[in-house]
Structure 1
């Protein structure tokens, strides 16, 4: 496998706030705890160790034992779950929605980044254990975001009426989709494995939580991955004090609002990622996940007839903490309350909103984790690599917007010079003499000289564009070939990892795919990786 890398900033696909974060901008340092560098983990370990009670470890390990009932967990995973009871064990976490059949390819990259970082930390900190954790977003209710995946340019979609937390959705109706998938995959050995994997995950499990747990376990159990479901009574009980502070004091709203004000006051104009509400919890029961709203001392569940007095809502929280579901503002806190976690690994959008949360963590006395941008990669097959070599293309140029990519390529291979920069410079020199003349005679003449210069420059630019357009026509076949390879690697003019499903690559590489990614995606990398099989 050939490996290359491009700095995230140079890809053009990552936000300014993420690029600045990766460069450890001084402006952003107040909004996170420690930057994810190996030399910073020791201090993070000490802080978390002091701030995470032994009793929470026991509850966590027992809850995971219960969640893994009936799951064919590997010895490595069982050992990791058991080790969470020990005070020398810490986690590295990534979270993701319950996307059908893993959804976009970067689902794999998130988990692999988590696995690889724990492996690296074990090598550097003898006597300590580090456990990779995948947090299933079982309580999310946006079914439209997770009910499909893309294969061979086609959208494989699960059409179903859905409401409430997606993890509780039954898997009825996926039989038909299984048939659609089977027809699309074909009959190869690798295709047969994928069909069996889908069937065992979705047709042999009652709900989406169980199906996703089975699927992720099958793909990553050899690496000791621990999969956690936050929709759990015992774990939610640990969250009760924080829910109470939200209901009665609007603590998350006040702290996050101040953070947002500080972030948006920066000259970099980062903008707001998520806006907090006065209460950042939903009420969750089967088929319902709706916002809790306080009005004049009473608590209402939005778009329902459910309501509570202050005493009633506190009693409901004590008796049924599982019915209180954190939104995007408070879910990160829930994760850090129940896990001995050091680092959260997420995408650029996720980490951008995490940067709004540190003040809230400080206000409630919970250690803020390190924030690590997940690995990103472009996978290039052997055939695609041959085409790129034959066309003599630079990989970095493929990341350009298509029009810029074509223009740059045409300029590079054209047998005539399309760049009129020398002519423009010569024109500017000539006009400098006219400016001198104008100042010596009549200064009102300066405006006319300037207008003529602008007109002449625009004329050259117009001719340059016409010449470029003519060369595109002349080199039409080359334009078609380079456009095809770019479209193949960047489907829908987007990153491959955001569009394609892992199954498309598993068809070609089979059980070598995940080990190859584990071997070649490096933890703490600041580069967008290029992997050529």
Structure 2
């Protein structure tokens, strides 16, 4: 595998805070607590700090409640060894996470886990005790965001694999959704046919990890356990009710100091705006940072008229004390929102760093403003960004003198103009027609002169003229046909490059399923990528397969 790098500042459509976080950290340092991504030494400093001030949540309790889910999804012996390590107060965690996307969701889910595993390995090599942890955000309720992922069919055409389910406005937590309709999706995959010589093996992996008897979170857990089997990736299910029993003090702060927390977030939004950024989460005066759960559904709580109220669903009105009393009766009633969840993660785990994407790096610029309310110092490590380039794409890029950066930066129309520049077929056809006309004129004049002296030679010249013009017409027709074919091929080639490297006008990692790449390259792709990725490289990594 060959690895090349693209500066994130050359990529379109990214949250503008990410390039500054990566390349000009001093410009955004006041928005964050500590850099962990600039060098290994920075990561080690953070590790030492966490070891000096570990979270107070009981380690044995944390491990005991995490064990059951990992057992249920068929975790490897390496996972249980890491859980055993986690019981020690000397062990650190590199945490990442994602909603349970269908068939694993887009490839970046795997790249998050890859980054977390590699960072844990590096810390272990440096003499620390560290384990990678994947937080399954099973309590998320945006089903539309997780229900689809994309593949290439046997002909190389992009298609979506989507799970049928709740309507857009459903409040059901996605991790609870059963896979009882998954056979329909497998039939669709088999009808389409996956591009790649390993499609049978990949379909078998999916059928083993996404059976109709599982739900979304169990399936993603099984799939990740299979992919990362040798690496001991510990899975944590956000729907575990037991972990919330130890969060009373955390939710108490969120409720009792709600107004000050909201002001801190709004002030941070003003600072972000002054620096030219938009807040990732717009915080209103009614913000609570808390969700209310009922069975398998989750509802946002707002604070209005000194009462916590559900934004949707059946009416609910509770003051702060009543809300805490409800939590005391049933800890699973309350759930953190996107700004509070990292605080919860660091309350439970000895987090040396959270591995996140561009949006999460932006979230942390806000989260760091409220960490002090819980005496938390937050750290976010940008995940490795990857574009995989298959052999055909490599060949086509070489054929036309293009780079992956060209595809990501330019429109197909701009690329077309660049390629055809200096290749004007109409001009060449015009020259051929001029040559024909000049020959006719010259030969006619010559024939008129010769016929006066030797008519037989003039007759021979007439025959030669027909042959010469016939050959030129033949060249003209061949040129037109070849040009038409080249145009058709070029259009097809350009379509291939864009659909494979920049599908739907987005980075490949945000659209294509990692299963697709395994179908083409083999089920051992995780291991091969683990050998070549560099978490401390600040650039987007382009890997030629």
**What is the CA–CA distance in structure 1 between the aligned matches of 2:111 and 2:205, rounded to whole Å?**
19
Aligned to 1:340: 350
Whole-angstrom CA distance in 1 between matches of 2:105 and 2:161:
10
2:214 corresponds to which of 206, 209, 214 = 206
Q: 1:208 to 1:476 in 2, by over 3 A?
A: closer
Equivalent position of 2:514 in the other structure: 502
- TM-fit CA distance, 1:215: 1.2
The 1-side partners of 2:386 and 2:321 are apart by: 52
Q: Offset at 1:4? A: 1.3
Query: Where does residue 491 of structure 1 map in the other structure?
Result: 503
**1:51 aligns to what?**
53
Find 2:299's aligned residue among 274, 290, 307.
290
User: What does residue 388 of structure 2 align with?
Assistant: 379
Tell me, what secondary structure is at the counterpart of 1:280? strand
Cα shift readout 1:272-301 (whole Å, capped 9, x = no counterpart): 211235211110122421122333343322
Superposed, 1:94-173 pairs within 5 Å as 94-124=96-126, 126=127, 128-152=128-152, 153-161=158-166, 162-173=170-181
> Per-residue displacement from partner, 1:115-169 (whole Å, max 9, x unpaired)?
1111112212x1x211111111101000011011111211111111253211122
Instruction: Verify the 8 A CA contact 2:196 2:520 in the aligned structure 1.
Output: no
User: Is the contact between residue 80 and residue 131 of structure 1 (CA under 8 Å) also seen in structure 2?
Assistant: yes
Give me the CA root mean square deviation: 2.6
Q: Give the one of 255, 258, 271 matched to 2:278.
A: 271
1:83-119 deviation line (CA, Å, top 9, x unaligned): 1111221111111111100111111111111111111
Q: Is the 8 A contact 1:361 1:367 kept in 2?
A: yes
Structure 1 residues 424-439: aligned runs within 5 Å: none
Matches within 5 A, 1:26-65: 26-35=26-35, 36=37, 37-53=39-55, 55-65=57-67
Structure 1 residue runs of 5 or longer lacking an equivalent are 416-471
* Equivalent residue number for residue 305 of structure 1: 315
The correspondence for 1:262, drawn from 251, 265, 271, is 271
> Measured at CA, do residues 76 and 518 of structure 1 come closer, stay the same or move farther in structure 2, by a change above 3 Å?
same
In the other structure, the counterpart of 1:517 is 529
Q: Hey, what's the Cα distance between the residues in 2 that align with 1:481 and 1:234? A: 55
- Aligned pair partner of 1:404 in 414, 437, 441: 414
What is the TM-score normalised by the length of structure 1? 0.83
Q: Report SS of the residue matched to 2:523.
A: helix
Partner of 1:130, secondary structure, is strand
The residue that corresponds to 1:231 in the other structure is 239
Give per-residue Cα distances to partners, 1:198-239, cap 9 Å, x unaligned: 223232543222121111111112111111112222211232
Deviation at residue 244 of structure 1 after TM alignment: 1.7
1:89 aligned residue (73, 88, 91): 91
Q: Which moved more, 1:50-59 or 1:113-122?
A: 50-59
2:250 is equivalent to residue 245 of structure 1:
no
Distance 1:396 1:81 in 2: 42
Query: Offset at 1:481?
Result: 5.6
d(CA) in 1 for partners of 2:28 and 2:397? 39
User: Out of 357, 362, 374, which is 1:352 matched to?
Assistant: 362
Q: Flag structure 2 segments of 5+ consecutive residues without an equivalent.
A: 153-157, 426-482
Q: Quick check: 1:48–1:367 contact (8 Å CA) kept in 2? A: no
- Report the secondary structure of 2:72's partner residue: coil
Check whether the contact 2:112–2:355 (CA below 8 A) recurs between aligned residues: yes
How far off is 1:320 after superposition? 1.6
Instruction: Specify the alignment match of 1:457 in structure 2.
Output: none
State the SS of the aligned residue for 1:317.
helix
- Correspondent of 1:321 among 331, 335, 348: 331
User: Any idea what the Cα deviations from partners look like across 1:169-211, whole Å, max 9, x if unmatched?
Assistant: 2222222112222333369873233233222323254322212
| 1:532 positional shift | 1.2
Q: Which residue of 1 aligns with 2:444?
A: none
Separation in 2 of the partners of 1:30 and 1:281? 27
3-state SS of 1:345 partner: strand
- Cα–Cα, structure 1 residues 188 and 389, in superposed 2: closer, same or farther, change >3 Å? closer
Per the normalisation by structure 2, the TM-score is 0.81
Match of 1:466 in 2: none
Structure 1 residue 525: deviation in Å?
A: 1.2
Q: Is the 8 A contact 1:164 1:285 kept in 2?
A: no
Change (3 A) 1:331 1:276: farther
Contact 1:51 1:367 in 2 (8 A): no
Secondary structure of the 2:242 match is: helix
Distance 1:345 1:329 in 2: 15
Deviation at 1:359, TM superposition (A): 1.7
Distance 1:67 1:340 in 2: 20
Larger deviation, residues 4-13 vs 186-195? 186-195
Deviates more, 1:274-283 or 1:292-301: 292-301
| Alignment correspondent of 1:528 | 540
Rounded Cα–Cα distance in structure 1 between residues aligned with 2:147 and 2:255: 33
Give the Å deviation of 1:475: 8.4
* 1:388 and 1:485 in contact (8 A); partners too: no
